[in-house]
Amino acid sequence: MKRILPENCDAKIVSDSWRIPPIFALLQRLGNIENEEMFKVFNMGIGLVMVVSKKQTNKILTQLSSLKETAYRIGEITFGRGEVKLFNL
């Protein structure tokens, strides 16, 4: 996320808004890796992020579901300093 953010925007990501695949818990435990580092390095199972307008979110989620794709609303873009902020770690 950090690479796509304009310097005047932040991404607020809610870390419990999707199911994290069990392999990441194993990697974290065996590697003794902090939560924040796991999210930075592995994205915790999020393969693709779409940034869409708030008004279009439900429509897009419905369309993706009709295509048998699993999608989650994981956060929002706000004014800020180009940072990715994780909540509910």
| Rounded Cα–Cα distance for residues 64 and 70 (Å) | 7
Distance CA 72, CA 64 (A): 10
Q: What angle do CA 75, 28, 21 make, to 5 degrees?
A: 55
Host domain of residue 52: 9-87
Cβ pair 4, 76 in contact under 8 A: no
Q: Report how many domains make up the chain.
A: 1
Tell me whether residue 38 is in a domain: yes
The number of residues in the chain equals: 89
The per-residue pLDDT for 36 is 85
CATH label of the domain that carries residue 24: 3.90.650.10
Which residues does the chain have with pLDDT short of 50?
A: none
Asked whether residue 42 is assigned to any structural domain, the reply reads: yes
Write the pLDDT tens digit of every residue in 27-51: 999 999 998 899 888 889 898 999 9
Q: What is the pLDDT of residue 89?
A: 58
Buried b (16+ CB within 10 A) or exposed e, 61-74: beeeeeeeeebeeb
Taking Cα atoms as reference points, which of 2, 11, 8, 14 lies closest to residue 89? 14
